[in-house]
Amino acid sequence: MVFSTISQVFDSPELFITDINSKKLTSGKTYIFIDEIQRKKDAGLFLKYIYDQKPNFKILVTGSSSLNIKNMVNEPLTGRKFEYFLHPLSLVEILQYNGIQVAKLDRLTPDVSKIIEDYLIFGGYPDVILANLKKDKISKLQEIAKSYLTRDLTETFNISKPYQLETTAIYLAQNIANLLSKENIAKTLSISVYQVENYLEALEKSFIISFLRPFYKNPVKEVSHRPKVYFEDNGIRNALIGRLDDSLISLDKGKLFEQTVFQLLNQKYSTVKFWRNTNQTEVDFIIEKEGKLLALETKYNQGKVILPRNLKSFAQIYKKQVVETKVISEQNLLGYI
């Protein structure tokens, strides 16, 4: 059952339940969708009361400030809720939206290649995907990026200098897939390391960026060594640095493709890491699954299929655990999505 209601019914949970029951058309379960729940004072207690009355409601709450939602509902709703992180649309979903069934594809077609190219530029935000004109896609991405940084994050984390948050995000956007150095960011932007840490926390916890941890046999070293940084959405990254045109990202495509593979793997596997040894030999992605290792390297345009030296090195060092080493390119990406 889908319905709308007026703001007054949110004055009390009792009034809310009464109002919903008066609108029910059947005796079955009622599904209620509430957006921007963070604007409701004492939202957690409000929802807890409704849940405890067992009114046969299924309530789905969403909002643009996910941390505010967590802060308000975590304690009151302990044991009463399920949390979901809704990623931007994946390549599979975008292909399906365009009438393409991935399972039936046995080769890369021009149509699929164009969709992948667009994904590297515009990412997977639904409003952006649904926009037909390029200028509308660009406009929507610019608005999303700006509102996220200047409104949502600034309010949620009580950031007094939004410009510093924005410049930190721009710095990261220019250095995707690179090792994180808080000291370099602080020096480049003339801010303190403490401020950098606050901005990184805001960007990570609001799902704008993600950290990829290094793979080591010793778990302590994983914590102590620097992670790599990726954006959750290509379009937001490109909007931050004004690169929303194919001609402007020509030099970035390798990194954007690596970021895209990270996004796909991060949704598919619970443990994704990267490997880098003291000789600076690096493998883009290491997947741990049931004690076995899968080593993956990304090459946007892969010519002759030759196993790179870095994959051979990793396979030699961890030969008892490695079950597969592969290079992911545009040509075989469909096998991983």
Residues 51-64 pLDDT 10s: 888 888 888 887 65
Domain that holds residue 63: 7-73
In contact, 230 and 202? CB cutoff 8 Å: no
Q: For residue 94, give both structure tokens.
A: 């975008």
Better pLDDT: 156 or 268: 268
What's the whole-number mean pLDDT along residues 326-334? 89
The mean pLDDT value of the chain amounts to 86
Last residue of a domain, one of 46, 73, 100: 73
**In the chain, what's the furthest Cα-to-Cα distance?**
69
Q: Mark whether 51 and 109 lie in a shared domain.
A: no
Distances (CA, A) of 29 to 13, 21, 56, 83, 324: 18, 11, 5, 20, 47
Q: Is residue 84 part of a domain?
A: no
pLDDT value at position 82? Answer: 78
Same domain for 102 and 42, yes or no, is no
Return the pLDDT at 1: 47
Q: Name the least confident of 48-52, 104-108, 322-326.
A: 104-108
What tens digit of pLDDT does each residue of 200-223 get? 999 998 889 999 999 987 655 545
247 or 138, which is more confident? 138
Q: Do 44 and 103 reside in the same domain of the chain?
A: no
Instruction: Please say which residue of 39, 73, 107 terminates a domain.
Output: 73
Mean pLDDT of 4-26: 77
- Whether 119 and 20 map to the same domain: the answer is no
Statement to judge: residues 31 and 98 lie in one domain: no
Highest mean pLDDT among 26-35, 52-61, 101-110, 311-320: 311-320
Residues 68 and 119 in one domain: no
**98 plus 51 within the same structural domain:** no
- 34 lies in the same domain as 118: no
Instruction: Give domain status of residue 79, yes or no.
Output: no
Question: What is the per-residue pLDDT for 166?
Answer: 94
Highest mean pLDDT out of 42-56, 148-162, 164-178, 217-231: 164-178
User: What pLDDT score was predicted for residue 68?
Assistant: 63
Q: By three-state DSSP, how is residue 293 classified?
A: strand
Domain final residue pick, 24, 41, 73: 73
**Residue 279, burial from CB neighbour count under 10 angstroms (0-12, 13-18, 19+):** exposed
Q: Over 60: is that where the pLDDT of 19 sits?
A: yes
Domain assignment present for residue 64? The answer is yes
For range 278-284, the mean pLDDT:
88
Question: Does the residue 193 lie in any domain?
Answer: yes
pLDDT at 4 over 50: no
Structure confidence by residue, pLDDT tens digits, 221-253: 545 589 999 999 999 999 999 999 888 888 899
The verdict on 66 and 113 lying in the same domain is no
User: Quick one: pLDDT at residue 217?
Assistant: 75
Q: Are residues 107 and 22 in the same domain?
A: no
Is 191 part of a structural domain of the chain? Answer: yes
Average pLDDT over residues 68-83: 71
- Average pLDDT on 19-39 reads 81
Among 35-39, 95-99, 190-194, 291-295, the minimum mean pLDDT is found in 35-39
* End-to-end CA, the chain: 34
Higher pLDDT, 106 or 99: 99
Tell me, yes or no, whether 103 and 183 share the same domain. yes
Are residues 175 and 310 located together in one domain of the fold? yes
pLDDT value of residue 86: 81
In a domain, 78, yes or no: no
Higher-confidence residue of 61 and 27: namely 61
Does the residue 85 lie in any domain? no
In a domain, 81, yes or no: no
Q: Which of 188-192, 227-231, 302-306 has the lowest mean pLDDT?
A: 302-306
Which residue, chain included where needed, has tokens 């729940």? 37
* C-alpha closest to that of 244 among 166, 236, 209: 236
Q: What's the total number of domains in the chain?
A: 2
Cβ atoms 137, 126 nearer than 8 A: no
Give how far Cα 94 sits from Cα of 101, 122, 134, Å.
10, 12, 16
